[in-house]
């Protein structure tokens, strides 16, 4: 356990979430290794390389009419070498699209990998498995569906 390394890794992830919700995707890319991979949304959305990740984020969330909240809690970081580490995180996220009267709200568990490159920690892999995911009619607050434990309930 090296607290300085662990807090440094956490700060990379915190910057990732901040830049994501501020739609500063190019700067977010700097936090990833060039060959970083992703497995978002229980692996349904996967990307190979920083450029592919940044392009995906720009395309799916770049519209200023899409409002997002990505909060990463509960860092369980483990150093696996002097320049490598794994991390578990507990995500709560919201994606709000007022123009479509739509909101996604949910939680997930991240499984990340980090490497130290030129003295700086970077994300070499990031992905998450959903715990639950709700779809809502945004303006009324009505839940249209919730998916959890492999089961979808619709209302």
Footprint of a second copy (CB under 8 A): 1-4, 6-8, 11, 14-15, 17-18, 21-22, 64-65, 67, 69, 71-77, 88, 90, 92, 96, 98-99, 107, 109, 131-132, 136, 138-143, 146, 148-149, 151, 153, 155
Which element (helix H / strand E) includes 150?
A: none
Residue from 66, 70, 69, 86 nearest 78 by CA: 86
Q: Choose between 6 and 47: whose C-beta lies nearer to a second copy.
A: 6
Q: Choose between 47 and 91: whose C-beta lies nearer to a second copy.
A: 91
How far is CA 5 from its chain centroid?
21
Minimum distance from CB of 33 to a second copy (Å)?
Answer: 20
Q: Choose between 55 and 143: whose C-beta lies nearer to a second copy.
A: 143
The DSSP symbol for 48 reads E
Output b/e per residue, 10-49; b: 16+ Cβ within 10 A.
bebbeebbebbbeeebeebbebbbeebbbbbeeeeeebeb
Minimum distance from CB of 56 to a second copy (Å)?
Answer: 21
Q: Choose between 35 and 63: whose C-beta lies nearer to a second copy.
A: 63
Minimum distance from CB of 144 to a second copy (Å)?
Answer: 9
The DSSP symbol for 54 reads H
């Amino acid at each position: 356990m090296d607290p300085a390394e662990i807090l440094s890794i956490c700060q990379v992830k915190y910057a990732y979430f901040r830049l994501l919700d501020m739609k500063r995707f190019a700067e977010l890319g700097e936090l990833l290794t060039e060959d970083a991979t992703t497995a978002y949304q229980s692996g349904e959305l996967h990307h190979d390389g920083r450029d592919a990740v940044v392009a995906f984020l720009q395309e799916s969330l770049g519209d200023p009419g899409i409002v997002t909240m990505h909060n990463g809690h509960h860092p369980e970081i483990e150093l696996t070498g002097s320049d490598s580490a794994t991390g578990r995180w507990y995500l709560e996220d919201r994606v709000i699209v007022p123009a479509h009267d739509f909101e996604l709200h949910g939680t997930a568990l991240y499984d990340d990998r980090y490497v130290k490159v030129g003295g700086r920690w970077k994300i070499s892999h990031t992905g998450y498995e959903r715990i639950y995911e709700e779809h809502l009619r945004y303006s009324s607050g009505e839940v249209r569906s919730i998916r959890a434990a492999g089961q979808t309930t619709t209302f």
